[in-house]
Amino acid sequence: MPTPSRYLSGPRIEPKPIKKGTGVSRLVDEAFLAYNAGRLHEACHLFAKKMLKADVTVGMSLTGALTPAGVGRSCIVPLIQAGFVDWIISTGANLYHDAHYALDLNLHRGSPFLDDTRLRAQGVVRIYDILFDYKVLLGTDAFFRRILQEPEFQKEMSTAEFHYLIGGFLREREKTLGLKVPCVLTAAHEAGVPIFTSSPGDSSIGMNVAAMALRGSAFRFDVSADVNQTAAIVWDAKRRGGKSAVLIVGGGSPKNFMLQTEPQIQEVLGLPEKGHDYFLQMTDARPDTGGLSGATPAEAVSWGKVDPSQLPDTVVVYTDSTIALPILTAYALDKVKPRRQKRLYDKLPALHGALKKTYLARAAAQEKKTRR
C-alpha cells in the first residue's frame, strides 16, 4: 500500500445528524465542516483556544451598521463584560447609533423593500431593514451637543478619552431610565476598555462636534494621540512577552487603523517588532477589487502587520458579520471562562509614556550614530 498523502491527514467529514435542541457550540464543532462554515469553525477555535489566553491582548475593529441591528448589546457588550475584548476601534456611526439604546430611543425591525419616498414623508429613517423615527436622530444629536458643553470637554483629547467620558454620561442616563442592559459605550466605560475612532469627523457625532466648534467650543480631537496610544497598547503587550490579537469585524478604516499599529512601531518609530500574532476577520469583501481594506493576512505580512511565523493562526471568514459574530460570541462564552479585564484605558498614560521614552531614546542613539 502506498503511503497516504499528507493532504489526507485532516479529520474525516462524517457529521452526526443535527437533533432537536442542538446548541451553537455543538453545531460549530460537528456541522460547520467546509466552505465558509468551515472557516467559521476555524475562527471559533482560534478565538476560544488561542486568542483568549490570559497573555493575549485582543483588539476589535467594528465596521458597518452593527449597533443599529442590535449586535452591540447582543454580542459586543457580553464580549466586553467577559474580558474577551481589551480595546476597540469603531466607526463613529456605530457609536452614535449605540447611544440610541442608552437614551431609550426605539429602533424597529422592518423591510428593505419599502417606498423610501413615503418613509421620508412620514419621518421614518431606514437602514436597510431597520426603521426608526427621525426624532431619534434629533434626540441623539441634542444629547451630544448638550454634553459637549460640559467643562470636562473643553480641551483637546484622544477619541478614547472622549468615548470614555461619553460612556460615563450614558451610564447615568441608563440608570435614570432604569435600563438593565448597557450600551457598548457604557460597558466599555465600566470595563476600562478604550474605544478609538479612526475617522472622528465621519459620523453624526463628528458632525455635532463640528457644530459646537462654530459656537466656540474648545473641544478638539487629538488624532495623533490615537495613533500613538493604539501603537502603545500593542507595543506594551509584546514587550512584556505577551501576544497581540486582532478581531476584525468588517473592514474599512477601523481595520486599517488597527493593523497600522505594527507599521507605526516598526517602520515609523523604528522599534523592533514582527507583527500581530493572531488575525481573525469577518468580511464579505474581496481583495481582487481593492475592496478588502488591509487585504488578506498573507498580504499584511509584507507590511509587517502580521508576524509571518503566525500565518497558520490567521482566519478570514467570508460571510455576513451579523451572522458570524453572534455565533462566535456564543461559542466563546460557552467554551471559555471570563478573563480578568486588562482595563487598558486606565493604563493609557503609562503605556504612551513608555512608548515615547523608548522611541526618543532610540532616535537620540540613531542621531548620535549618524553624527559620528
* Tens digits of residue pLDDT in 161-199: 999 999 999 999 999 999 999 999 999 999 999 999 999
Mean of the per-residue pLDDT values of the chain: 93
Supply the pLDDT for residue 125: 96
Average pLDDT over residues 301-307: 74
* Tens digits of residue pLDDT in 26-48: 999 999 999 999 999 999 999 99
Residue 363 is placed in which grid cell?
Answer: 532616535
CA pair distance 166, 176, nearest whole angstrom = 16
Indicate the pLDDT class of residue 368, thresholds 50, 70 and 90. confident
Residue 312 is placed in which grid cell?
Answer: 497558520
Ordered structural domains, the chain, with CATH: 36-358 (3.40.910.10)
What is the Rg, in whole angstroms, of the alpha carbon atoms belonging to the chain? 22
List, edge to edge, every strand of the sheet that includes 87-90.
195-196, 87-90, 56-62, 243-249, 278-283, 314-318
Name the nearest CA neighbour of 83 among 52, 107, 105: 52
CA-based end-to-end distance of the chain? 69
Residues with a catalytic annotation lie at 305
Supply the pLDDT for residue 9: 86
**Residue tagged 456611526 (cell numbers):** 93
Please state, in angstroms and as integers, the Cα–Cα distance from residue 290 to each residue in 23, 134, 264, following that order.
38, 35, 22
Greatest CA separation for the chain: 83
Cβ neighbours around 3 below 10 Å, total = 5
